[in-house]
């Protein structure tokens, strides 16, 4: 599977590219399949995979073309999911948090949602909390989003990342948010405030 992924990243014939991205559908599928397994035991396969993943994460340039952005984001989110699954490289997970920080600040609701959801998964890894806290202001801003699913993801993420160092700020923001919160989310919000 790693060889298939490596092949899909190399120069491929024009008919296998989509808006200049070499076979993004194959990249997505191979990255997803790799999530069913752990880190390879074979040192050469491990080395190859650890060389490929940063390269895929580095190819995150978005443009004005929606179709190209969709393909880039599909590959990136699967790559981020694989990095989270493997939990091997703290540097790569930090790089994922930086990318997700950009994603939660974009206009497109689907990308913000996926960014918050994946950041929530990374918040479960204690070593990553300090990096996630750097995006706290943007996460708090997501509580004011028009989309309730984004507000729920932001609430879950704030709850997961709260500790002694930022509890007062987060609880104050949540109390302020409670005043105007949707009825559907108030009970959960009040419970989380009480726990924090």
Per-residue pLDDT tens for 157-176? 999 999 899 999 999 999 99
pTM: 0.83
- Could you tell me how many residues make up the chain? 196
Per-residue confidence (pLDDT) for residue 58, from 0 to 100: 82
pLDDT category at 72 given cuts 50, 70, 90 is confident
Is the model's pLDDT at 125 over the cut of 90? no
pLDDT category at 60 given cuts 50, 70, 90 is low
Per-residue confidence (pLDDT) for residue 119, from 0 to 100: 94
Per-residue confidence (pLDDT) for residue 172, from 0 to 100: 92
Per-residue confidence (pLDDT) for residue 9, from 0 to 100: 63
What percent of the chain is predicted at pLDDT more than 90? Answer: 30
Q: Phi and psi dihedrals of 22, rounded to 5?
A: -70, 120
Per-residue confidence (pLDDT) for residue 157, from 0 to 100: 94
Whole-angstrom distance, CA of residue 19 vs CA of residue 29: 18
Whole-angstrom distance, CA of residue 17 vs CA of residue 20: 6
- Grouping H, G, I as helix, E, B as strand and the rest as coil, residue 12 is coil
What's the chain's average pLDDT? Answer: 85
């Amino acid at each position: 599977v790693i060889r298939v992924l490596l092949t899909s990243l190399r120069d491929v014939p024009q008919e296998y590219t989509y808006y200049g991205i070499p076979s993004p559908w194959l990249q997505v599928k191979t990255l997803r399949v790799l999530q069913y397994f752990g880190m390879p035991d074979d040192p050469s396969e491990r080395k190859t995979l650890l060389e490929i993943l940063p390269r895929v994460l580095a190819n995150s340039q978005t443009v004005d073309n929606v179709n190209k952005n969709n393909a880039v984001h599909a590959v990136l989110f699967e790559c981020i999911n694989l990095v989270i699954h493997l939990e091997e490289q703290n540097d790569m997970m930090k790089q994922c948090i930086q990318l997700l920080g950009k994603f939660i600040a974009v206009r497109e609701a689907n990308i913000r949602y996926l960014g918050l959801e994946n950041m929530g998964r990374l918040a479960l890894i204690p070593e990553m909390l300090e990096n996630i806290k750097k995006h706290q202001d943007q996460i708090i801003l997501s509580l004011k989003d028009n989309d309730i699913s984004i507000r729920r993801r932001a609430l879950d993420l704030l709850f997961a990342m709260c500790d002694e160092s930022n509890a007062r700020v987060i609880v104050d923001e949540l109390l302020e948010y409670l005043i105007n919160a949707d009825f559907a989310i108030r009970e959960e919000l009040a419970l989380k405030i009480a726990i924090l």
